[in-house]
Amino acid sequence: MSDKHAVTLNVNGKDYRIQVEPRRTLADALRDDCGLTGTHIGCEHGVCGACTVLVDDRPVRSCLMFAVQVEGARVRTVEGLAKGEELHPLQKAFWEKHGLQCGFCTPGFLMLATGILEAEPDISDEDLRDVLSSNLCRCTGYQNIIKAVCAAASEMRACQPSASL
């Protein structure tokens, strides 16, 4: 069980050279081997979405991937969202709209929303709600999470240079 493999994880633009067993999940590798504990583990069977990170810009459940599968890919986690002291529009919106209470599910929602808004900046509110239904929150009842993501979507669209110009 202890045959470890050398893997390089590129997380938030930085390379982490780690030794892991093939069975080690990406979530555990991020948390325990890279020390990035902002990615949370809520169920370990792919339902709750608390462990959502971006792998090559697409949201994945990091509890359902093995670390060795991520060699050569770019991983983004909640720790990489803010630019120094300047929070990402989604982080600001969650704070402004009271989109979190205990905050345990928040990193997963932030990464899920980042992934979808980067891929589909003009996504309709209805489709956005559909995407957000993939993650669980036990505190907020979702109302303020949806408000926050919609508000951030508007701000992110406003900040994007228009393609038609």
Partner 1 sequence: MSALGQSLKRIEDRPLVTGAGRFAADERRPGQVYMRVVRSPVAFGRLVGVDIDEAAALPGVRAVWVHADIAHLPPIDFRMTRIPGLDPYRQYVLAKDYVRYVGDPVAVVFADDPYVAEDAAEMVFCDIEEEDACLDATGDPVPFMPQTLPGVLSEPACIVKAYGDLDAAFAGAAHVIELEVKVGRHTGVPLETRGALAVYDAARDVITMYGASKVPHYNRDTIARMLGLPRDHVQLSEGHVGGGFGIRGELYPEDVLVCCAAHALGVPVKWVEDRREHLLAANHSRDQVHRMRAAVNADGFILGLTDVFFTDQGGYVRTHGGTVSDLAAALLPGPYVIPAYRVEGHIRLTNKTPAGTYRAPGRYETTFARERLMDAIAHRLGLDPVEVRKVNLIREDQMPFDRRIDALGTHVVYDSGKYHDLLERTLARLDYPALKARLAARRAAGEKVGMGLAYFVEKSGLGPRDRVTLTVLPDDRIEVVTGVASIGQGVETAMAQICSDVVDLPIQNISVIHGQTERISEGYGAFASRVTVMTGSAVRLASQALRETAFAQAAPLLQTRPDDLDLVGGRVVARSSGAAISLSDLAQQLPEGLTAEGVFEADHMTYPYGIHVAQVKVDPETCGVSVEHYLVAYDVGRAINPMMIDGQIVGAAAQGIGGARLGGFVYDEAGRPFAASFADYLMPTCHEMPTVDVLLREDAPSPLNPLGVKGAGEGGITAVGAAIAAAVDDALGRPGLIDRLPISPNRLHAVMGAGG
Measured distance CA(127)–CA(121) in Å, rounded: 12
What secondary structure letter does DSSP report for 44? Answer: S
Q: Pick the closer one to partner 1 by CB: 70 or 111.
A: 111
CB of 4 to partner 1, least distance (A): 11
Angle at which helices 106-119 and 125-132 pack, to 10 degrees? 140
CB nearer to partner 1: pick between 117 and 132: 132
Pairwise CA distance, residues 40 & 106, whole Å:
9
- For residues 45 and 29, give the distance between their C-alpha atoms in angstroms, rounded to a whole number: 16
- Among 68, 74, 142, 155, indicate the residue that binds partner 1 (CB under 8 A): 142
11 has which bridge partners? Answer: 14, 75
CB of 126 to partner 1, least distance (A): 11
Residues that bind partner 1 (CB under 8 A): 1-2, 21, 23-24, 28, 31-32, 36-45, 47-48, 50, 77-79, 81-82, 87, 91, 94-96, 98, 100-107, 110, 129-130, 132-146
